[in-house]
Amino acid sequence: MTTDHPVVVTGATGRQGGATAHRLLAAGRRVRALVRDTTAPAAKALERAGAELARGDFDDPSSLPAALEGAAALFAVPPVAFGPAGSEVEREVARGRALVDAAAAVGVEHVVFTGIASTPGRPGGSEGKQRIEDHLRERIRSVTVLRPVRFMSNYLGSTPIGVDGIAGGVHRHIFPPDEPAQIIAVEDVAEFAALAFERPDRFAGRSLELAGDAPTPVEAVAAISEATGVAVRYEQLTHAEATALSPELARVRERWAAGSRWHADVEVLRVVHPGLRTFADWLAGSGAALLRERLRGTARGSARRS
């Protein structure tokens, strides 16, 4: 793959796309960030870091070909869609197909598609991701699929349905407290994407389940407590609590309780990428400082309200 043509990065103002854009820029690659608003602060920060900005909106397919024109490769973060009832699969698939079709129309050579980790019986991780992936393989000759598990940085905040962060010194999720649950740093997703762009001959046609560590939830909060100096404990959501938050979350909890698990081979991945981060590595890097700031800020806010 020629390196004088840009790599287009979608989701560049988010976690995976942002990490990948910065990783490629650090390697001297041209990066074109596909954004809805080129004047947004996050977009301007990318531009200052060296990225080109191109306006594109997944809900306006006519805006996409021009944004992709002249690119040699594409890092595609699935354009998820959420409504009042939860995820909107048909809208997600329509957005993904529009991106794929635009890439095919302008001759993009290689796409690195990042979805979510698979589990037995769900090879694409979710219906929407699988349908987009299938369409991608039909339209683009050279495709690499990354399937990351839960992000280490999820401890810094909550999902749209209100789980995954830390509130009041408590981390709550669906996972059994004393069973390993795989996690990965978004920076390592970016590393695997960079490897795929550097060696498309090696990674084309491959699907990689990505994880970097597998602490139990109790071990993870203990590590956070030690690294930040702020006490954190873990609580597993009951089925009723998960259902009240989201029927989708409850279904995931049911599948997990039935033995459905992510299955990335961390040791093999570490051969491919020797710098693969453990949870301790992530905490020692940026994680502990970010968590400490957030946790202490939350504690101060609670004290003012009491």
Question: SS3 letters for 5-20?
Answer: CCEEEECCCCHHHHHH
Q: Looking at residue 25, what is its pLDDT?
A: 97
DSSP 94-161: HHHHHHHHHHHHTT--EEEEE----BTTBTTSSHHHHHHHHHHHHH-SEEEEEEE-EEGGGGGS--TT
Instruction: For residue 223, report the phi and psi dihedrals to the nearest 5 degrees.
Output: -65, -40
Helix or strand or coil: residue 212? coil
pLDDT exceeds 90 at position 53? yes
**Which pLDDT belongs to residue 303?**
47
pLDDT at 305: 47
pLDDT tens for 90-99 read: 999 999 999 9
> What percent of the chain has a predicted confidence (pLDDT) above 90?
82
- Supply the pTM of this predicted model: 0.93
Mean pLDDT of 30-57: 96
Given a cut of 90, whether residue 124 has pLDDT beyond it is no
State how far Cα 74 lies from the chain centre: 16
pLDDT for 267-301, tens place per residue?
A: 999 999 999 999 999 999 999 999 999 887 665 55
What pLDDT shows up at residue 213? Answer: 98
Of 170-174, 247-251, 293-297, the one with minimum mean pLDDT is 293-297
- 306 pLDDT above the threshold of 50: no
The pLDDT value recorded for residue 79 is 77
CATH code at 7-149+186-210 = 3.40.50.720
- Return the number of other C-beta atoms located less than 10 Å from residue 291's C-beta: 22
Rounded to an integer, what distance in angstroms lies between the CA atom of residue 192 and that of residue 214? Answer: 19
User: Comparing 41-45, 83-87, 169-173, which segment has the lowest mean pLDDT?
Assistant: 83-87
Chain CA centroid to CA 215, Å: 19
* pLDDT reported for residue 243: 93
Which amino acid is located at 167 in the chain? A
pLDDT of residue 3: 64
The pLDDT > 70 percentage for the chain reads 93
121: left (phi over 0), alpha (psi -120 to 50) or beta: left
Tell me: pLDDT of 1 over 90: no
User: In the chain, how long is the greatest CA-to-CA distance?
Assistant: 60
Q: Rounded mean pLDDT of the chain?
A: 92
Torsion angle of the four alpha carbons 41, 42, 48, 49, in this order, in degrees rounded to the nearest 10: 170
pLDDT 10s digits, 131-161: 999 999 999 999 999 999 999 999 998 766 6
Identify residue 149 by its one-letter amino acid code: V
pLDDT of residue 4: 79
pLDDT confidence of residue 163: 85
Q: What is the pLDDT of residues 174-210, one digit of tens each?
A: 999 999 999 999 999 999 999 999 999 999 999 999 9
d(CA 263, CA 260): 9
Domain ranges in the chain are 7-149+186-210
Question: Residue holding tokens 């989701």?
Answer: 11
Q: Is the pLDDT of residue 75 over 50?
A: yes
The Cα-based distances of 182 to 179, 211, 213, 214, 289 in angstroms read 10, 6, 6, 4, 22
Mean pLDDT score, 27-31:
97
